Amino acid sequence: MTPPSLLLVGGAGPAPLGIDVAVMAIEQARARGLAVHLIGHAEDLAVTRDAVDLADTAEAVDFENPEAAVAWALDRSRRGEGFDAVFTCRELALPATARIAEALELPGNSHEVIDLIRSKADCRRRLADEGFPQPASHPCTSAAQALRLLEDSPGPWVVKPRMGSGSEGVSLVSSAAGLSRALGHLPPESGQDFLVESYVSGAEYSVEGLFRSGEPQVLAITAKEKLPPPFFVEQAHTLPAPLPPPLRRQIEETVTDALRVLGLSHGLFHTELWVTEDGIILGEVHARLGGDYIHRLLAHAIEGLEMFGEVYDDSLGRDTPAGPRGCARAGATRYFSPPPGRLRGVHGWQEATRHPAVLAAELAVAPGERVTAADESDGRAGALAVGAADPEQARALAIRLTDGVRFDIEPEETP
């Protein structure tokens, strides 16, 4: 009997985190007897062998071109090599994944919904129209237009690309004089097409979950910590966030209501928000798992959780765990933030990574390389993810272990 087949669109990203996520996703598919077929960019397939070698097949397909990806999938189907489920771990592959699911009549989110949530301005507008508090958001097509906004409204403001993830191109502007720097920080593909939003001050969280039979199910709320402005790079996560039960329920209800309004109904979700003096203000919504080793924290905190496998089971009409599940344990991730300069060496790494509570470890720089101040998620020097009995212990352990790793930096001369 031919086993059910899963198409994993985008495969693994080339960074250690992307590979780790894809490996977990593929392992949970194989544990359910699924044949895994992976498509990705040729250059990614070459450097993500840990994931590629777990799949049954891997083929180079331009998944960032949804039309080309759909044509490839339809051709496979016509040759009798179709798929029973389609999934992605990657933000950039969400449009192609949605269109492939529609073309092959497989469960998934519609491409209209994916396009809506990936357009930050459109998603903001839809949620605001439905009564969800949002930061004031203004699409701009020129520096002059943005400058007029800054002159007409109280700051501070946030300048960001209309699409994207990982804090790429996002920066704080405290005065009109800082606009030029912020526009120069935008990714080149943004061009003269960006957003100016009001800055929200408050404790920041994200909500992690999955859909079961079309309904959102919250798995955990994550507390977030960020490096100092002007950039919005995340430095640490603690899961579950230590929150009073009434606030936790309010956050869960707000997020699940928002997901229903947006029309999401399949896969995983990661929704960001602030808790302010005026209440809950929603941030960005993603139809994917959160980054920064949240997948490892969730797997440790919730006994028996296989989030990717549950998405596959839901797609195939198989039984999935019923009812909400709480976190019996906790986890925390903390990123290193060494000063800029030339790296001479790293001390204490082996001692830190040998700790039995470490769930994942990543070192993104090597001796001789230049360390820069992180202005987006991909620019961070590395991280440790740990598990513990409760959130306070997890956060404290993550701090202690990362503080024990010393980066020997040769400062660069200031011009």
Question: Do 282 and 373 share a domain, yes or no?
Answer: yes
Please indicate whether residue 407 or residue 182 has the higher confidence score (pLDDT): 407
Beta carbons within 10 angstroms of residue 166's beta carbon:
17
- pLDDT tens-digit series, residues 159-207: 888 776 656 778 888 877 778 888 888 877 766 788 888 889 899 999 9
Question: Do 223 and 242 share a domain, yes or no?
Answer: yes
pLDDT given for residue 228 in this prediction:
83
Average pLDDT over residues 7-31: 97
Distance CA 12, CA 19 (A): 5
> Range of 153's domain?
136-198
Whether the bond between 161 and the residue before it is cis, its omega within 30 degrees of 0, is no
Question: Do 288 and 374 share a domain, yes or no?
Answer: yes
- pLDDT tens-digit series, residues 298-355: 999 999 999 999 999 999 999 888 766 789 999 999 999 998 999 999 999 999 999 9
Is 372 strand, coil or helix? Answer: coil
In a domain, 117, yes or no: no
Structural domain total, the chain: 3
In a domain, 257, yes or no: yes
Question: Do 235 and 335 share a domain, yes or no?
Answer: yes
Distance CA 312, CA 314 (A): 5
End position of a domain, from candidates 167, 198, 229 = 198
Question: Do 186 and 209 share a domain, yes or no?
Answer: no
End position of a domain, from candidates 144, 171, 198 = 198
Mean pLDDT check: name the lowest of 107-121, 131-145, 181-195: 181-195
**C-alpha separations of 2 from 28, 80, 196 in Å:** 18, 12, 52
Share of the chain above pLDDT 90, in %: 73
- Domain with residue 362: its CATH number is 3.30.470.20
Stated pTM of the model: 0.92
- pLDDT tens-digit series, residues 226-278: 988 888 888 999 999 999 999 999 999 999 999 999 999 999 999 999 999 99
Question: Do 15 and 88 share a domain, yes or no?
Answer: yes
Q: Which two tokens stand for residue 156?
A: 């501070």
Q: Which two tokens stand for residue 308?
A: 């990717």
Question: Do 338 and 217 share a domain, yes or no?
Answer: yes
Phi, psi at residue 283, to the nearest 5°?
Answer: -100, -130
Share of the chain above pLDDT 70, in %: 97
Question: Do 98 and 27 share a domain, yes or no?
Answer: yes
Question: Do 194 and 215 share a domain, yes or no?
Answer: no
Average pLDDT over residues 205-227: 96
Average pLDDT over residues 1-19: 94
